[in-house]
């Protein structure tokens, strides 16, 4: 089996591509967004030129998230969290990417860490409000932006 996005070989039972994070086995193929591809190229170039540029690496990860390339986003966000541990949005979006990759336990644990380390962050406040209103446990799905909403 071959990934429809990055064209790499995959194990037969793969549900997601371990290289780019694409969902496998869906007939639905999204139209290529040329603006996102341009952003992707810009941020990849910036990160290559300056691997310690956390802002460019984070923006690269956000671009991967917009493209639903969860695995690639995880790689970049893990590096951001390692190099700048007090970057709350990196922790939050890493939990969301884990969730999309099916790593629910990792996502849940990361959100718990996010809530305890950054209790006053707007996303943490919103998450707690949604939890109490709905009686739900912490879930990255709760915090995913709704259609037309920015992260």
What span, in angstroms and rounded, lies between the C-alpha atoms of 119 and 54? 23
Split at pLDDT 50, 70, 90, the class of 147 is very low
Q: Is the domain of 48 the same as that of 19?
A: no
- The per-residue pLDDT for range 32-64, each reduced to its tens digit, is 678 888 999 999 999 999 999 999 999 999 999
Cβ-in-10-Å burial (0-12, 13-18, 19+) of 130 comes to middle
Question: Quick one: pLDDT at residue 26?
Answer: 55
Q: Report the interhelical angle of 122-134 vs 104-117 (nearest 10°).
A: 120
Does the residue 151 lie in any domain? no
3 state SS of 16: strand
- The per-residue pLDDT for range 76-135, each reduced to its tens digit, is 999 999 999 999 999 999 999 999 888 889 998 999 899 999 999 999 988 888 777 766
Q: Please give the tally of structural domains in the chain.
A: 2
Does the residue 56 lie in any domain? yes
Q: Is the domain of 18 the same as that of 79?
A: no
Cβ contacts of residue 140 below 8 Å, gap of 6+?
95, 96, 98, 99, 107, 108, 111
Domain span at 121: 34-143
Q: Is the domain of 79 the same as that of 53?
A: yes
Does the residue 8 lie in any domain? yes
* Residue 82: count of CB within 10 angstroms of its CB: 9
Residue 32 phi/psi, 5-degree rounding, is -70, 130
């Amino acid at each position: 089996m071959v990934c429809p996005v990055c064209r790499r070989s995959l194990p037969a039972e793969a549900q997601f591509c371990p290289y780019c994070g694409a969902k496998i086995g869906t007939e639905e193929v999204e139209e290529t967004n040329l603006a996102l591809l341009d952003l992707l190229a810009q941020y990849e170039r910036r990160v290559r030129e300056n691997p310690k540029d956390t802002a460019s690496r984070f923006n690269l990860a956000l671009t991967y998230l917009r493209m639903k390339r969860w695995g690639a986003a995880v790689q970049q966000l893990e590096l951001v969290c390692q190099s700048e541990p007090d970057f709350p949005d990196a922790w939050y979006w890493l939990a969301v990417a884990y969730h999309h990759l099916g790593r629910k336990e990792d996502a849940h644990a990361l959100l718990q860490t996010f809530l305890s380390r950054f209790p006053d962050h707007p996303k943490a406040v919103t998450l707690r409000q949604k939890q109490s209103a709905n009686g739900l446990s912490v879930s990255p799905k709760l915090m995913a932006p709704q259609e037309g909403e920015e992260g």
